[in-house]
Amino acid sequence: MGNLFDLCSQLAFYKSYHSDRVNVLIHAIFVPTILYSSLVMLYEIKTINGWTAAHLIVGIFSSYYMVLDAKAGALASAIMGCTTHGISNGYLHISVKAALALFSAGWISQFIGHGVFEHRKPALLDNLAQSLITAPFLILFELLFRMGFYKELQAELIIRVRERRSHLQ
């Protein structure tokens, strides 16, 4: 699991389970799909003062991401916050049934990605909580890497993933 508050350690854990190009693409599409559909379903669970379980999860994820990296954490927080706001105001809201279908399709696709393309068990089988929390942040970082940001982190991540993979095999 590595250091819980070390960004590279957390990203390396999750990324080390994802090396196949097709599987990575599947995850790039369906991790956000699962997060979005989860927020839609969690939005239906009301707590106090108008807050919902979606707000709670966004708060937890955002806080953790901000501790790992303030800039990327702020970006992730803004994305999740805007998504939750859109769900609450109706312009990103879909039915729970539709959200459940997206959620299911997302998980099925990812398991197919691991079984057919990656030929490696998913990270969530080794650490469910860490995988669920780290996956969306890694997807954001993969986009940031492609845009030319965080080059030093990307280089360090490549080294750590190689090390982890050599131990996994």
**Domain definitions of the chain by residue range:** 14-168
Tell me the CB-side half-sphere exposure of residue 48, using CA atoms within 13 A: 0
Q: Predicted confidence band at 168 (pLDDT cuts at 50, 70, 90)?
A: low
Tell me the CB-side half-sphere exposure of residue 38, using CA atoms within 13 A: 19
Helices marked H in 4-150 — which ranges? 7-15, 21-43, 53-68, 70-88, 96-112, 128-146
Give 68-108 pLDDT, tens digit per residue. Answer: 999 999 999 999 999 999 999 999 999 999 999 999 999 99
Q: Tell me the three state secondary structure of residue 52.
A: strand
Give 112-167 pLDDT, tens digit per residue. Answer: 999 999 998 999 888 888 889 999 999 999 999 999 999 999 999 999 999 988 87
User: Contact at 8 Å (CB) between 40 and 33?
Assistant: no
User: Contact at 8 Å (CB) between 81 and 58?
Assistant: yes
**Which residues are CB-contacts of 88 (< 8 A; sequence separation ≥ 6)?**
43, 52
pLDDT higher than threshold 60 for residue 5: yes
* Residue 19, Cβ density class (10 Å: 0-12 exposed, 13-18 middle, ≥19 buried): middle
User: Contact at 8 Å (CB) between 53 and 45?
Assistant: yes
Residue type present at position 95: S
**Which residues are CB-contacts of 123 (< 8 A; sequence separation ≥ 6)?**
13, 14, 16, 17, 18, 130, 131, 134, 135
